[in-house]
Chains A and B, each alone.
Chain A
């Protein structure tokens, strides 16, 4: 489970594993972004646009909230 710079948490690494160890490059090609962008999203270094988030969820055949979760930061 990736969690770092943003308040958006994601399950992309786990979902890639459950989809035949899909590579970041394969996911990037399906979504229409670069592999480095997938890597940045997965590592919590970039929050994708709503469209890219939906595209990623669509690739895994899961609802958006199964892939991305918003984390409320405590003060």
Chain B
């Protein structure tokens, strides 16, 4: 597969997001269904997720830089990034509106926080998938 450094970077970010935040959301979902509703109980799991995201990103980018030329992003990379962002950011917006409505309805803080995290996860994952589609299919 003929991929630029920027495209490899998108793949690495997607992987770190799915493993880190995706993994966290699975664990948090299990905790919530088992009746854990105190926000501090989620903090250590979230900390592990953040560390995983950082480690995968750093290791992945180092490996990608060693394996191929670490070219700077050019106009095509920027355009693909902007296009993907403009087509995926509404998901996060929807999550924020949902969180505001949930707060008005006095839904528990732990649910509101996770609604925001889910919308952030979906928005970022959609952005990265759309970038990969544009890289592969052309724009």
A: residues with CB less than 8 A from B are: 4-6, 32-37, 39-40, 43-46, 48-49, 52
Contacts and interface: CB of A to CB of B under 8 A. Distances in A.
A48 B3 CA distance: 18
B76 interface: yes
Nearest to A49: B75
Given A34-B4, A36-B2, A36-B7, A46 B138 contact: yes
B75 A36 contact: no
Interface of chain A, main secondary structure: loop
Interface of B: 2-7, 71, 74-77, 137-139
Tell me which of A4, A5, A33, A48 has the highest count of chain B C-beta atoms within 10 A of its own C-beta.
Answer: A33
Given A32-B74, A33-B75, A39-B2, A45 B139 contact: yes
Contact of A40 (B5, B6, B138): B138
Q: Chain A CB within 10 Å — which of B2, B74, B77 has the most?
A: B74
B7 A48 contact: no
A46 B139 contact: yes
Ranked nearest first, the 7 interchain pairs of A and B with the lowest CB-CB distance are A45-B138, A36-B4, A33-B74, A37-B76, A34-B71, A5-B138, A34-B4
B138 A43 contact: yes
18 contacts: A5-B137, A33-B74, A33-B75, A34-B6, A34-B76, A36-B3, A36-B7, A36-B76, A37-B4, A37-B76, A39-B2, A40-B76, A44-B138, A45-B137, A45-B138, A46-B76, A46-B138, A48-B76
Nearest to B4: A36
Contacts of B76: 33-34, 36-37, 40, 46, 48
A39 B5 CA distance: 14
B78 to A, nearest CB: 10
